[in-house]
């Protein structure tokens, strides 16, 4: 994709990915916003755990994935992320 925060036509890139994922300060502020709002705190926690999951050794991934599913994808749990689709939270097949 475009680098430096500008699109091909030279305008500023205002996409969510650019502002809240690729920019360290934007990412920090967005995470603080999520963590500070009770309705969004589970989403902030899920983001943190997914980043940790990406750093896991291959041998630890299955157990880590099960913990994530139990914590964030189980209806009725305190940190259930109900905004995720069934497809997004389905265990991988194969």
CATH number of the domain to which 61 belongs: 1.10.167.10
Domain count, the chain: 1
Domain that holds residue 28: 16-89
Residue 81 CB: number of other CB atoms within 10 A?
19
Q: pLDDT of 41-69, one tens digit each?
A: 999 999 999 999 999 999 999 999 999 99
In a domain, 2, yes or no: no
**CA angle (34 as vertex; 13, 82 as ends), nearest 5:** 105
Q: Where are the alpha helices (DSSP H) in the chain?
A: 16, 24-36, 41-54, 61-72, 86-89
Which of the two residues, 86 and 68, has the higher pLDDT score? 68
The larger pLDDT score, comparing residue 47 to residue 93, is at 47
């Amino acid at each position: 994709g475009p680098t430096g925060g500008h699109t091909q036509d030279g305008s500023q890139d205002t996409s969510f990915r650019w502002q809240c994922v690729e920019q360290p300060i934007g990412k920090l502020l967005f995470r603080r916003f999520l963590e500070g709002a009770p309705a969004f705190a589970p989403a902030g926690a899920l983001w943190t755990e997914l980043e940790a999951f990406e750093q896991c050794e291959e041998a630890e991934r299955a157990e880590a994935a099960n913990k994530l599913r139990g914590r964030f994808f189980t209806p009725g749990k305190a940190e259930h992320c109900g905004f995720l689709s069934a497809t997004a939270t389905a265990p991988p097949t194969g």
